[in-house]
Amino acid sequence: MWERIVLLLCLPSAVVAQLCAPNAPNANKVRLSIKTALGSQAYDWNDDEMFLFQATLAFAMRNHIQGQEFNVSNVIVCNETQRVSFWFVVTSPLDPTRLIGKRDVEQAVRKSRHRLNSAFLLSDATLEFVGVPPTLEGPAQPDTPPWLIVFGVVIGLVSAGIVALLASSVAERRRKKNKVTEEEDEEEEADARGKTLENGSATEGVYNVTFSDEERFTQM
Ligand SMILES: *[C@@H]1O[C@H](CO)[C@@H](O)[C@H](O)[C@H]1NC(C)=O
Ligand SMILES: *[C@@H]1O[C@H](CO)[C@@H](O)[C@H](O)[C@H]1NC(C)=O
């Protein structure tokens, strides 16, 4: 009876301990080069630093999976080495025996990469999540298949051609129209002169025309 209770009490921690192991399916490896990064300013890696790592990673997980309250206890670390490297897994806040998938953890790390780096005064090169490229922000961009690039280029050229064609035809039409309206303007002007002469009196706008044409007027 007592043995069973003890076994039941020990079970969760035993299970959790098994969850984190080098090269386990959902485990990630971290490598820190604090001396390389900070030289004489380097700090010692200790339990407090590890707590900060667990906390910032829990923050990154909260940031990535909204609405789940990841805690420091959800970040399980194992196989820590002196020249600092270790493995970690993340358990679900809803069920501590279930692991968060490697993909989600990696995306969370990428999303909060800058925050993780600055927490430890390190860079992408000196705070290394082995196998997680730091440069891709957020969800990984799907690779563009080559046919899509060719298709895009062809479509681009065709539409550029169409635009050029349209633009040139519009310009042509506008030029013709301008010519026509210029001629029309000349005709209208001539008409206006004629009318002024007929009426003998002029509105103010046309007055100048009659004035400048006075010579012709007097000749008539
Ligand atoms: C987080 O974990 C600590 C101890 O590990 C516990 O005291 C605290 O209540 C937990 N917080 C949440 C929101 O679960
Ligand atoms: C990782 O740690 C466990 C438990 O501490 C140990 O049994 C195992 O051999 C270690 N693995 C490596 C690759 O160091």
Asked if 89 and 58 sit in the same domain, the reply is yes
- For residues 116 and 56, the answer to whether their CB atoms sit within 8 Å is yes
In a domain, 115, yes or no: yes
Asked if 28 and 74 sit in the same domain, the reply is yes
In a domain, 141, yes or no: no
21 alpha carbon – ligand 2 mean position (Å): 7
Asked if 113 and 152 sit in the same domain, the reply is no
Instruction: Provide residues with CB under 6 Å of ligand 1.
Output: 69, 71-73
pLDDT at position 134: 78
In a domain, 6, yes or no: no
Asked if 154 and 210 sit in the same domain, the reply is yes
pLDDT at position 19: 85
Nearest CA to ligand 1 atom 1: 71
Nearest CA to ligand 1 atom 2: 71
Asked if 18 and 125 sit in the same domain, the reply is yes
Q: What is the tally of structural domains in the chain?
A: 2
Among 71, 77, 90, 91, the mutation site with the greatest number of ligand 1 atoms within 8 A of its Cβ is 71
Measured distance CA(214)–CA(177) in Å, rounded: 33
Nearest CA to ligand 1 atom 5: 73
CATH number, domain containing residue 104:
3.30.70
pLDDT at position 177: 80
Please give the number of the atom of ligand 2 that sits closest to the Cα of 23. Answer: 13
Asked if 95 and 162 sit in the same domain, the reply is no
Nearest CA to ligand 2 atom 8: 79
Asked if 18 and 108 sit in the same domain, the reply is yes
pLDDT at position 6: 47
Please state the three-class secondary structure of the chain as a single string.
Answer: CHHHHHHHHHHHHHHHHHHCCCCCCCCEEEEECHHHHHHHHCCCCCHHHHHHHHHHHHHHHHHHCCCCCCCHHHEEEEEEECCCEEEEEEECCCCCCCECCHHHHHHHHHHCHHHHHHHCCCCCCCEEECCCCCCCCCCCCCCCCHHHHHHHHHHHHHHHHHHHHHHHHHHHHHHHHHHHHHHHHHHHHHHHHHHHHHHCCCCHHHHHHHHHCHHHHHHC
Nearest CA to ligand 1 atom 13: 69
Per-residue pLDDT 10s for the chain (220 aa) are 555 544 444 445 555 557 899 999 999 999 999 999 999 999 999 999 999 999 999 999 999 999 999 999 999 999 999 989 999 999 999 999 999 999 999 999 999 999 999 999 999 999 999 988 876 554 455 677 778 888 888 988 999 988 889 988 888 888 888 776 666 666 666 666 655 555 555 455 444 555 555 555 555 5
- Residue in the structure block whose two tokens are 């900060």: 52
Asked if 106 and 209 sit in the same domain, the reply is no
At which of 129, 156, 186 does a domain end?
A: 129
In a domain, 54, yes or no: yes
74 alpha carbon – ligand 1 mean position (Å): 10
71 alpha carbon – ligand 1 mean position (Å): 6
At which of 70, 98, 129 does a domain end?
A: 129
Q: Which ligand is nearest to the CA of 54?
A: 1
Q: Which domain, by its residues, includes 200?
A: 146-219
